[in-house]
Structure 1
Amino acid sequence: MQPVPFLEAMQYAQLKKIVLPDEFYSLDLRTRHYASTVSFLTSLEQINTVMHAINKSIVDGSTFQDFKDLVADKGIDLPESYLDNVFRTNIQSAYAHGRWQQQQRNKVAKPYLMYSAIDDSRVRPSHLAMNRIVRHIDDPFWLIWYPPNGFRCRCTVIALTEKQALKYCITSDEDLPDIAVDLGWSTSPASFGDLSSLVDQKIADSLLDKTFLLEQKQLIQAEWTASDKLKSLLAPMNDQSRNLFETITKKVIPLDPNIRPSAIKVLIDYVMGNDAALTAYLSKEPISMAEQVLRRWLVADMTQIQAVAKNTADVVTGSVSLSYVASLQVGQTITLDFPLMLAASNTDVVIKVENAVGLGIDLEQLNAGQGVLFEIGISFEVVSVEMVSGKLVYMLKVIANL
């Protein structure tokens, strides 16, 4: 990828503040537009080196190989798959912001935009479905779908004159594809900053269905609220948790570069016993849209980590607090509303889970200690409760994985 450099892209990239991963993922989604991080690194100096290499690539129009060589020359060892993700996502975001600004300035001459996806084996089906959609530059469609629309997204937008737009055919409301918005993604230049008043005006002026547009606005607002809530629920990082963060990251990122650092931070809170606030929040029935969004994020995050560190033991044994098991009775069925951490300890209350192979996150595979973290949605039946060698043992059997 060697795009023609332009000033707006360079300015956007160079003005972003360099922060540590846990700081970045504690920012609300609007503020993240102004920040950069590299989740595989825990040193500001190293992160700054990588981001400087990216900015140099933007200025020079250099290739991924040039970027990779520059990072390696600085003594920073990162998996190639993850470097590729960092490089392409940051380059695409910077150029998208620059392109958006240029198109806005030139919209009198070219008032229409056309979505352009790359039709090959790597393109996401949802992105391909939007290929050649033509809408007015002020249409609310671009508030939601101006690319990039995810990590490594290669889609772009082409500005058209009215004559060109008519030639390609302006996409009608009826012909717009029904595609779910990825609420975990928030770098669209059309949503840069707090655009609530602009969105309200565009909704009022649009010929599109107002109900649909209001729903999309509410979803975006819910994501911002969920991001702020997650920040308040997670414990502050210290030297011990930073070390564990680095250990787990080095293990999972090469296996799945798309795992979000916030997912690792949630896992760390459970491993280190900092889960009280998060568990209490998840135990409540979701009421608001933001609560539903946050729960959906956590389910998806734990599922991704579980996929690369799946428990292989059929029987898992560990200790839990007495308050958690006090109400359990034989024959009762329970479904996890929050992750359940089972690890060895010296307490007198033990849970033994049968039929557990393939479920839960094996911490040993992540170099994060001993134990298994069972994810939200798994259902158990309480098979027995009895005293064994002076310990109160609750025998559970997995009956469903929702």
Structure 2
Amino acid sequence: MMTPTTPPPPREALAYLRAKGYKIAWDYRDLWKEEHVRAFTVAKAMTQELLMEIRQAVDAALAEGKTFKQFQDELEPLLGKRGWLGKVLMEDGAMVELGTPRRLKIIYDTHMRTARAAGQWVRIERNKAALPYLRYGLGPSREHRLQHVQWEGLILPVDAPFWDTHLPPNGWGCRCRVRQMTERQASQRGGVSEAPEQKTTLWENRRTGKVEEVPVGIDPGWNVHPGKARLSHTQTLGKEKDIEFRSIVGTIR
């Protein structure tokens, strides 16, 4: 039974995580941006059974509010049985990290934060009539990226294009966040900000050879809005199912 002090499970974030399929990949760059919205992947986890165990651990951590230490302590014995702990020496002489503490922390942080961001966006959309603004805030990191510091306190409408690429998290280890605000709250904080100039830089994905523009201050691959991307994917699936349904019904005589 849930105690009064236990926070409720984050339903929207769990829905985002549980809607994903699986994708085996050697490198995180093998899947890109919106592809991570559709598929759960962990670089170098090369069997679906292994991916399923890691995903179940992430799911439990998200649903039950587990700390990274709890996540690590529960997952490591399972990974050990599958030989996916520590580092391994490849045939070409390269040393590859598998389930090291550093990588497990990245796995935990990345999946938890993106799921929560997607879940938060569902609530933002639901409440934007009463809370039409978002305020960018720095998280509890010891050090912050210069660009993220410059965005701290920025207040823009929920539908501002800026959030399409700059809704936190905005990179590996980024703990930035947004707070939804009423018009009065925004006014008390100085009013709506002028949207910052969105400078970009060219970046090459050496796994695919593709070159793209990435906003300055955003890690490559993180300039995607998980909430909107999931909504777009859901709408596309719905349209495909409608087309399939009409085609089947249309053949009945």
Q: TM-score over 0.5 for the alignment?
A: yes
The one-letter code matched in structure 2 to 1:88 is D
How far off its partner does 1:128 sit?
1.9
2:55 corresponds in structure 1 to 51
2:113 matched residue in structure 1:
92
CA distance in 1, matches of 2:109, 2:47: 22
Distance change (3 Å), C-alpha of 1:100 and 1:3: farther
For the residues of structure 1 that align with 2:63 and 2:178, how far apart are their CA atoms?
A: 21
| Deviation per residue, 1:239-279 (Å, 9 max, x gap) | xxxxxxxxxxxxxxxxxxxxxxxxxxxxxxxxxxxxxxxxx
Between 1 and 2, higher relative CO (CA 8 Å, sep ≥ 6) is seen in 2
1:37 shift after superposition: 1.1
Q: Following superposition of structure 1 onto structure 2, how do residues 370-381 of structure 1 map, counting pairs within 5 Å? A: none
Which residue of structure 1 lines up, in the alignment, with residue 180 of structure 2? 159
Give the superposition deviation at 1:28.
Answer: 5.3
State the one-letter code of the partner of 2:63. V
Q: Alignment partner for residue 10 of structure 1, among 14, 27, 52?
A: 14
Output aligned runs, 1:57-76, within 5 Å: 57-76=61-80
User: 3-state DSSP class of the match of 2:79?
Assistant: coil
1:143 aligns with 2:185: no
| Alignment match, 2:235 | none
Query: What secondary structure is seen at the aligned counterpart in 2 of 1:5?
Result: coil
User: Given residue 66 of structure 1, which amino acid in structure 2 is its aligned partner?
Assistant: Q
Q: How does 1:182-261 map to 2 (within 5 A)?
A: 182=218, 183-192=220-229
Q: Secondary structure at the match of 2:135?
A: strand
Q: Distance in 2 between matches of 1:42 and 1:147?
A: 29
Amino acid across the alignment from 2:221: G
CA contact (8 A) 2:34 2:226 kept: no
Specify the alignment match of 1:82 in structure 2: 103
Distance 1:32 1:167, change over 3 A: same
Distance 1:108 1:188 in 2: 20
The one-letter code sitting in structure 2 at the alignment partner of 1:96 is A
Q: Structure 1: how far apart are the matches of 2:125 and 2:109?
A: 24
Corresponding residue for residue 106 of structure 1 = 127
TM normalised by structure 1 equals 0.44
Letter in 1 for 2:225: S
CA contact (8 A) 1:4 1:61 kept: no
1:158 partner letter: R
Deviation at 1:188, TM superposition (A): 2.2
Map 1:27-38 onto structure 2 (within 5 A).
27=31, 29-38=33-42
TM-superposed deviation, 1:114: 0.7
Return 5+ residue gaps in structure 2 as ranges. Answer: 1-5, 86-98, 201-214, 233-253
TM superposition shift of 1:68: 0.2
The answer as to whether partners of 2:131 and 2:182 remain within 8 angstroms in 1 is yes
The CA deviation string for residues 94-138 of structure 1, in whole angstroms up to 9 with x for no partner, is: 000000010110111111111111264332222222111111111
C-alpha deviations, 1:137-187, integer Å up to 9, x for none? 11111112111111222111111011001111234327x366541343244
Aligned partner of residue 46 in structure 1, secondary structure? helix
The code of the aligned residue for 1:74 comes to: L
> What is the TM-score of this pair, normalised by structure 2?
0.68
The structure having more radius of gyration, on CA atoms, is 1
CA RMSD between the two structures: 2.5
Conserved? CA contact 1:119–1:128, under 8 Å: no
| 8 Å contact kept, 1:92–1:153 | no
Amino acid at match of 2:102: S
Match of 1:127 in 2: 148
Change (3 A) 1:119 1:64: closer
Task: Classify the secondary structure of the residue corresponding to 2:222.
Answer: coil
Letter in 2 for 1:47: L
Query: What is the rounded CA distance, in whole Å, between the counterparts of 1:63 and 1:52 in structure 2?
Result: 15
The 8 Å contact of residues 112 and 161 in structure 1, kept in 2 or not, is answered as yes
2:227 and 2:51 map into 1 onto residues whose CA distance is 27
Aligned partners of 1:149 and 1:188 also within 8 Å:
no
Q: Alpha carbons of 1:3 and 1:132: their partners in 2 closer, same or farther (altered >3 Å)?
A: farther
Question: Percent identity between the aligned chains?
Answer: 27
Contact 1:6–1:98 (CA under 8 A) maintained in structure 2? yes
Hey, what's the Cα distance between the residues in 1 that align with 2:114 and 2:228? 12
Question: SS where residue 192 of structure 1 aligns?
Answer: helix
